[in-house]
Amino acid sequence: MKNAVRLFALLAILVMALGACTPAATPTAAPEPTKAPEVAATEAPAPTDVPVEPEGPFRVAVVMPSAINDMAFSQSIYDALVRIQEEMGGPDKFEIVYSEGMFNVDDAAAAIRDYASQGFDLVIAHGSQYGSSLQEIAPDFPETSFAWGTTVDTFGQPNIFAYEAAADQGGYVNGVLAASLTKSSTIGVVGPIETGDAKLYVDGFKAGVAATNPAITVNVNYIGSFSDVALAAEAANTHIAAGADVMTGTAQMVVGAIGKADEAGALWFGTQSNQTSLAPKIVVASQVYHWEVVLSQMIELIQAGTLGGQSFSINLENGGEVIEYNPDYAVPAEVQALAETTIKGIIDGSIKTK
Amino acid sequence: MRSRLNSLIDALMPVLATLAALAVGAVMLLVLEVNPIQAYAALWDGAFGSSNAMAETLVKATPLLLVALGICIAFRGDVTNIGGEGQMIIGALLATWVGLTFTSLPGWVVVSLALLAGFLGGAVWGGIPGFLKAYFNVNEILSTVMMNAIAVQLMNFLLRGPMIDPAQAQLASKIPQTARLLEIFRLPRVGTTRLHLGALLAVGLAILVYILLWRTTLGYRIRAVGQNPHAARYAGINVKRYMVLALLLSGAFAGLAGAVQVFGVNYRMITDGSASGFTGSAGFNGIVAALFGQLHPLWSIPASILFGALLVGANKMQRVVQVPSALVIALNGLVVVFVVSSEIWRRRRQKRRLADEPASKPGPDASAPAKVTP
Amino acid sequence: MIADFFTITVLVGILTSGIRLATPYLFAAIGETFSQRSGVLNLGVEGQMLLGAFAAFYVSYITGNLWLAVLVAIVVGALMGLIMAFVSVNLQAQQGISGIGFYLFGLGASDLLFQKLVGTVKIANSFSPVYIPVLSEIPGLGEIIFQQNVLVYVAFALVPVAWFVLNRTTLGLKIHAAGENPAAADSLGVSIAGVRYFTIILGGILSALAGASLSIAQSNVFQQGMTSGIGFIAVALVYFGGWRPWGVLGGALLFSMVNALQLWIQVKGVGIPSDIAVMMPYVLTILVLVASVSRVRGPSALTKPFEREN
């Protein structure tokens, strides 16, 4: 009985104490819901085939698992949105808000729902682990468009776009380049866990190496973590000790491995972002994601009244994936030519990367 | 009446400490050129601003409370359990397996079985460190830390192999997740919010744990071992057995938290490769909640809500004023340090009260609230 | 097949990697040994490591001066230790939980500083291997031990120093007394608060050095949460080592060698799923401790704040 009283008292105090610090502030918090009117303007399906020009800015919210500056997965989408913003004429025309560090699936779900209820035009769930939450939230907000990556699954819902990166394509090209440049016939790969984008890239890379020279050994190390920079570095050391003179790796913790490759003078191939700045002497090329290619298609569709139901892929053909060379590393002409024919082959379908 | 006033002031202490920590956080916000008033308004709004916000707070508090209940048992038995993360994962894996395997049984049967499986899974993952401590003198901090890491890798292995969603197994991306639970196996929710039956279950269990610890022989013995193992041994209590039991039960509640999370919120298991991707660090934060609640199962209820509110509100704060998520984490750390540091005033007041009682002449000063100068 | 796997290259590789990987664990666990021997459990190691890692990285990034970077990391670690000491000695806060608070604070604050001051992944100067004359030319052994970076040497040199201080000096005696029977020690005139302040600050410094060894020796970058649980494992290794520096060394080497072994197992394509391979060091550390059935007892006053009876 006494406990019940204490409990109730605490709850009451808690509410009062927390409440006491806010009343003055409530008016300041108001600005966010004011955007409601223009939402109606953008989202009413266009009755004619003339796209409706939205009155306010196009509003995008993105939820991502790591930080916007991770030089990998999360940064790739944020940079793409910033590029679109520049193209569309700044924050007045294209508003971006983000939630970073949403590695926890429930937190991400809460963020997605909150953005949707605030009437954003497009809510991007940038992480394959968010799909399940999206499947649940999207039907409650039929006026809002959602995008989910990386995947191909829209759950058959009319307001979900799916997007993915054909990581295997750039991986394949990197593999061809790597196989042409190795002298020790041993290549090392450092990965996080054996799934998703990482696995796609690594498998494509291996296929590229094997197609160029089946005699080359590709050693793969998945270190079981997206954050353990030190272990990624040691995995690189292990590859070097095992005779590798060319390496690649994927996800944000590989920055540790790049340093070790640099120390040992082994060549490096990057993916997701351009990693040249991390080791200008040894980075040969990076597969860089340009999500803006598919994002701008989605935005056009949304403005024309289609809120989802389609699946997009960035790849070498549509320019969403670009092999960016390090200008300071001289790739032999015949090797570069081989890479170019490989890219052409992948685009016309004569080369299978999976 | 006086004792009620005293407990009121005691209860106020963590709240004051939280406010003090938020004041330090305000300085950090100013450095980031963010208006702290606007930021904290968003925090409040995110935690209590609407019925949905309150529901989210309770959703966040549920696994915290369940883990905290286990922590109450463990710490009362003088064993430390920092393996909540791993125990949640194992409980969730086992419960999910039940939910995906016995699809032809009635819903309530499967849900009960699954929650039981989660309870048992956590019990095993907590019981092993207990057993190793009692019979092999392996320190439980060591074994629970190691077993957290083992559980994560086990989850990764199972979700991308044996337990992978058959639909994903067909796709190139192979998202490491299980299939979704059938709709009849999901815990009922309140309205359109995510607040689920698990929250009520957790509160019910808090009462049960209170009864267990203070009204049963088992609880008495666990506490006796915790207070003084030597005396307990002389009293004829099998100290080792109760040590194992305390850790086992502690793990079981964490395991149940994992199961409830799957059946009430996520409806499937997904991994991003880390523990917190699934647990949201509830295995750690539950320890904090339990200690905020002074290792008392019933006090753990408001403590979990307070902490859950802070976590949910902080995420909203990130969304509204666009502060880096790092600030939110640092702020949580400050709150923990401030609250735990404020304990000293409560203890001092208690001591003073004890000292005053025999004197039987308590001056008005004795009951005045201690000055808090963080 | 086993003979196939354990070639000289692989053996030398495992031992070399193992020693390198052991470095942060050694720094942090030796520091934790000091604070636990004096009766204070510090669960905030991971947070202190992260702040140390960032401080060292940032100074190296800005100035390129590695020794200045180490110095600043030491100062940051000492500062964190000082605050921690105030909280656990003066405010007598529950140590396990305040440690978790410091961990969260360090995790957030290091990343926040990184985002404000650096912005995105950048590379900094880092310690390169030092070849010890003559010794580094010994086949095998030379590569394993005598071609490491300077922080590796410092970490390993700490072990005998810590052993000596703890077991052969008056200070060590006082630390022991503070951890076993603070009331008795206090009555003999030992300042429990002073001793514990010393050990906690030392722990903070060594944790920060552990972090520095990650960001300016083992790698040349800083990234959010880059310690990735190393601090917690380091605390666990103190128990493994039975609060003795040599035991801690054994634990750190065992854990790191097995970690290096699993990297090689994957490289050599032995066919174990990668997740299972990654699990190995954790499982083996527990198993070894079970097999050894140690009878070591921890400091009696561990986690118990000391307050003088008046």
Low-confidence ranges of chain B (pLDDT < 50): 359-374
The pLDDT, as a whole number, for residue A165 is 93
Residues of chain C above pLDDT 90, percent:
81
Which of B145, B326, B336 has the CB atom closest to C115's CB atom?
B326
User: Touching check for B332 and chain A: CB below 8 Å?
Assistant: no
Cross-chain Cβ contact B329/C116 below 8 Å = no
User: Touching check for B164 and chain C: CB below 8 Å?
Assistant: no
User: Touching check for C120 and chain B: CB below 8 Å?
Assistant: no
The C-alpha atoms of residue A255 and residue A73 are separated, in whole angstroms, by 13
Which of B132, B142, B287 has the CB atom closest to C97's CB atom?
B287
Which of C101, C114, C229 has the CB atom closest to B336's CB atom?
C101
Name all chains with 3 or more CB-CB pairs below 8 Å to chain C. A, B
Main-chain dihedrals φ then ψ at residue B76, nearest 5 degrees = -65, -30
Q: Dig out the tokens for C146 from the structure.
A: 């005598």
Instruction: Provide the chain B residues 255-284 that lie in CB contact (below 8 A) with chain A.
Output: 261, 265-268, 270-274, 276-281
Query: Between B and C, how many residue pairs show a Cβ–Cβ distance under 8 A?
Result: 145
Q: How far apart are the CA of A248 and the nearest CA of chain C, in angstroms?
A: 14
Topology of domain A167-288+321-348 in CATH is: Rossmann fold (3.40.50)
The pLDDT, as a whole number, for residue B363 is 38
Alpha helices in A96-165 (DSSP H): 105-117, 131-137
Answer yes or no: is pLDDT of C29 > 50: yes
Query: Which of C32, C104, C115, C290 would you mutate first to test chain B, the one with the most B CBs within 10 A?
Result: C104
User: Touching check for B294 and chain A: CB below 8 Å?
Assistant: no
Answer yes or no: is pLDDT of A28 > 50: no
Name all chains with 3 or more CB-CB pairs below 8 Å to chain B. A, C
Answer yes or no: is pLDDT of A106 > 70: yes
Residues in a beta bridge with C58:
none
The C-alpha atoms of residue A300 and residue A291 are separated, in whole angstroms, by 14
Looking at A84-93, A131-140, C293-302, which range is the least confident one? C293-302
Q: Under DSSP, is residue C177 helix (H, G, I), strand (E, B) or coil? A: helix
Topology of domain A54-166+291-314 in CATH is: Rossmann fold (3.40.50)
Q: Dig out the tokens for B281 from the structure.
A: 């660090």
Read off the DSSP letter of residue B194: S
The pLDDT, as a whole number, for residue A12 is 44
Residues of B in contact with C237 (CB under 8 A): 142
Residue range C175-211, pLDDT digits in tens: 999 999 999 999 999 999 999 999 999 999 999 999 9
Which of B11, B273, B309 has the CB atom closest to A225's CB atom?
B273
Residues of A in contact with B177 (CB under 8 A): 129, 131-132
* CB-based contacts of B324, cutoff 8 Å, min separation 6: A67, A100, A101, B32, B318, C111, C112, C115
Burial class (CB in 10 A: 0-12, 13-18, 19+), C292: middle
The C-alpha atoms of residue B374 and residue B341 are separated, in whole angstroms, by 9
Residue range A183-235, pLDDT digits in tens: 999 999 999 998 888 999 999 999 999 999 999 999 999 999 988 999 999 99
Q: Domain segments of chain C: what residues? A: 23-228
Answer yes or no: is pLDDT of C310 > 90: no
Residues of A in contact with C143 (CB under 8 A): none
Cross-chain Cβ contact B173/A15 below 8 Å = no
Which of C94, C100, C116 has the CB atom closest to B284's CB atom?
C100
b/e B8-35 (16+ beta carbons within 10 angstroms → b):
bbbbbbbbbbbbbbbebbbebbeebebe
Which of C121, C218, C274 has the CB atom closest to A194's CB atom?
C274
Cross-chain Cβ contact A6/B280 below 8 Å = no
The boundaries of every CATH 3.40.50.2300 domain in chain A are: 54-166+291-314, 167-288+321-348
Answer yes or no: is pLDDT of C214 > 50: yes
Q: How far apart are the CA of B134 and the nearest CA of chain A, in angstroms?
A: 31
Q: Domain segments of chain B: what residues? A: 62-301
The pLDDT, as a whole number, for residue C294 is 66
Cross-chain Cβ contact C115/B291 below 8 Å = no
Answer yes or no: is pLDDT of A50 > 70: no
Instruction: Provide the chain B residues 175-194 that lie in CB contact (below 8 A) with chain A.
Output: 175-177, 180, 192, 194
User: Touching check for C118 and chain B: CB below 8 Å?
Assistant: no
Rounded to 5°, the CA angle B286-B287-B290 comes to 85
